[in-house]
Structure 1
């Protein structure tokens, strides 16, 4: 079976890759298992050299990698450059801080003392999405490699060139054979790898439905997983927010990656006293945006990752409107492009009410006050990111503390930083990536007890 790289702008097949056979996958796992026996015994400084080189190569190749993302999954060049900058930061952070983050810790009791040490466990299998084809594998790869683990990555089938480019950087950075491996396999054959006894853990980012299957299979094999799944992140605007600034910010953040971000604001929750004025400002900003070729400069947003993705979003919008939602702006599709869209008066049971719409769609809910805003924000099966907007920072922190989400931001959309852990609660998943917590997910925190 061929895995094709297709330009979402025009449907052109850019490259084609043959899927690995089960025998080839087995050989790759065997090489990774063998590599682990040596890699785990390398010093932190030796492993850090590889990560630092990878960071430097990302900065050196930023333009070509941004262009590759633009061609393969429709990301604007400036957004692609920003992603590569973040990837370099992640590799540098773990190269610089990995040893201290995993340093032994002394514990004491009334009749002796002990030491907690952190040891690598082996092969970690990363199953990654397409929307950030370098960032997602980086946040799995960098902490695990510095910890002494080795990594197998099954990337999304629509970004095989990005997957290959990631692996090439790891090779060029001096990673020994088997320490990082790109598995060219389709989703239908990805699950068998979880069953392999040589694989010790699974890190998955993607949809709730797919994640549930991966977690179930890993559970049957008694393997730890980290799950970052879907989200319908609330964006609460309180009555004391700076409306001009917040409206401009929402229009910008909603259109990042054409709305194809797990932590993109999905549910816009407005206190009724400012709702009409705020929506008019947002609508005005979105109406000024123009679509264009993601490989060119001078436009505002590109296509969705595939035409099928756009068809799916269009269907969710249509079904929501048929169910009683009001279409305030946009809603139309042309090829893989979806117009910036605003839906209001959304009834329960429609896709816009409780499903993740992975595109440039703002689902608006008007509430009486702060208390109701928090209630609506938490009335969801998901809990990935969240944000609140107010001129009163103490008030913003108070609201943020009450939101049921893995991250809560005040006056900024949910975002990601190399130094700060992120992840979800409820059906948005479990476990954390990045920061001081991300490096601990796949290590054996072993107690050594002395008397």
Structure 2
């Protein structure tokens, strides 16, 4: 059985049935056997199915959002938005997938030579708990549209959400031998990578787990896409639109109680506005309300697990001991559940824990900088490279940042976000490969050369 704790109350939820190793293998076999039929469906038929998936997600939007609130503490309004974004992803690949995979003619000594993009087979998606619907769709929609079949291993924290999600696919007409959920503990999931009928792996999660999964997939010569942790920098210059920037920075850091890989985590502020920015952020953070995620008056729900909260508090405490100043938050609440207050740490320096490690919760570190060159150097002083952002009205500064920042994506005067239309992924310990956009659908296909005399 999969045991789940309600993070709002700290109380156990009803256990969910799990598959044995033998049952998991049988599920993969079933989906692998379905590949022969699914890959022969025309793009028009796959389009119709994905359009139906989008409609099914919207029909079940409230139930999915409530399950996320119950199992991992996502505020209900954020859960509703997540399901809508997921439906958009299904619509996007339904409308554009065929064009992204259209054969491309290339000049050669043949009478006709071209590249086509047939699917690989069955793809295993190992997914986290923090956005269980969205992260599943950005794996499933392009893979299915390309003609692959999919097995998803959802995180044990969100079994009911995963079951409902797959039910939405079946309601939409996706065959049960084209998509299936592997309800297994993490110890069993690692064995699924070695299944001979799993042809590729998509993983979203921690950098540590990603290193293990990457090595295991490589041992089987199986392609993998890894979206891992992030310690995303944001540079705030004095000539920026400060009110807009501070609102967006607060939103980015507090979405999903800070449990987002691409959230702003390290903020570098030009010295002339440093005190003003720190005070403005303190005011914004202090007004945020933590509580039951099903109550729409609350801005933040709990962290998903007790160990995650304890790890975050360790990072905060060690940084304060090293000289960071805490302007608000930083204390473990006495209430039930796994809540952590919005926490603002200023005067953060390299070497402090919150500078060096990914902070997966509502904690923002702020560091003063003298010049854009210093800011760029500090921003790149990390093993991660998922997202980065800069706020400035100076075009020369923007151009310099775009050429210098080392990350998978850069936002200028806006929030780092994932978008079905644009590729998403990282470098370094943030992973490799890309999801979404035209690049994402080509990750799990055979780039096949055709030469005709």
| Range of TM-score over shorter length | over 0.9
User: CA separation in 2, counterparts of 1:400 and 1:164?
Assistant: 42
Aligned length: 450
1:411 correspondence with 2:390: no
CA contact (8 A) 2:60 2:168 kept: no
Q: Tell me the secondary structure at the aligned position of residue 25 of structure 2.
A: helix
Please report how far the alpha carbon of residue 19 of structure 1 lies from its aligned counterpart in structure 2 after TM superposition.
Answer: 2.0
CA contact (8 A) 1:388 1:400 kept: no
CA contact (8 A) 1:49 1:95 kept: yes
Tell me the equivalent position of 1:171.
170
User: CA separation in 2, counterparts of 1:21 and 1:101?
Assistant: 38
List runs of 5+ in structure 2 lacking aligned partners: none
Q: How does 1:301-450 map to 2 (within 5 A)?
A: 301-334=300-333, 335-393=337-395, 395-450=397-452
User: CA separation in 2, counterparts of 1:238 and 1:337?
Assistant: 32
Please report how far the alpha carbon of residue 246 of structure 1 lies from its aligned counterpart in structure 2 after TM superposition.
Answer: 1.4
1:195 correspondence with 2:194: yes
Change in Cα spacing, 1:48 to 1:394, as seen in structure 2 (3 Å) is: farther
Tell me the equivalent position of 1:61.
60
User: CA separation in 2, counterparts of 1:55 and 1:44?
Assistant: 16
User: CA separation in 2, counterparts of 1:410 and 1:253?
Assistant: 14
Provide the TM-score with structure 1 as the length reference. 0.97
Deviates more, 1:77-86 or 1:204-213: 77-86
List runs of 5+ in structure 1 lacking aligned partners: none
User: CA separation in 1, counterparts of 2:56 and 2:98?
Assistant: 22
Q: Tell me the secondary structure at the aligned position of residue 195 of structure 1.
A: coil
CA contact (8 A) 1:129 1:156 kept: yes
Please report how far the alpha carbon of residue 443 of structure 1 lies from its aligned counterpart in structure 2 after TM superposition.
Answer: 0.1
Please report how far the alpha carbon of residue 398 of structure 1 lies from its aligned counterpart in structure 2 after TM superposition.
Answer: 3.4
Please report how far the alpha carbon of residue 243 of structure 1 lies from its aligned counterpart in structure 2 after TM superposition.
Answer: 1.6
Tell me the equivalent position of 1:51.
50
Tell me the equivalent position of 1:102.
101
Q: How does 1:265-276 map to 2 (within 5 A)?
A: 265-276=264-275
Tell me the equivalent position of 2:254.
255
CA contact (8 A) 1:235 1:413 kept: no
Deviating above 4 A after TM superposition, structure 1's stretches of 4 or more consecutive aligned residues are: none
Deviates more, 1:16-25 or 1:198-207: 16-25
Tell me the equivalent position of 1:208.
207
Tell me the equivalent position of 1:144.
143
CA contact (8 A) 1:393 1:410 kept: no
Q: How does 1:178-189 map to 2 (within 5 A)?
A: 178-189=177-188
User: CA separation in 2, counterparts of 1:246 and 1:26?
Assistant: 49
Please report how far the alpha carbon of residue 394 of structure 1 lies from its aligned counterpart in structure 2 after TM superposition.
Answer: 5.5
Q: Tell me the secondary structure at the aligned position of residue 297 of structure 2.
A: coil
Change in Cα spacing, 1:394 to 1:54, as seen in structure 2 (3 Å) is: farther
Provide the TM-score with structure 2 as the length reference. 0.97
CA contact (8 A) 1:73 1:159 kept: yes
Q: Tell me the secondary structure at the aligned position of residue 421 of structure 1.
A: coil
1:12 correspondence with 2:11: yes
Output the aligned Cα RMSD: 1.3
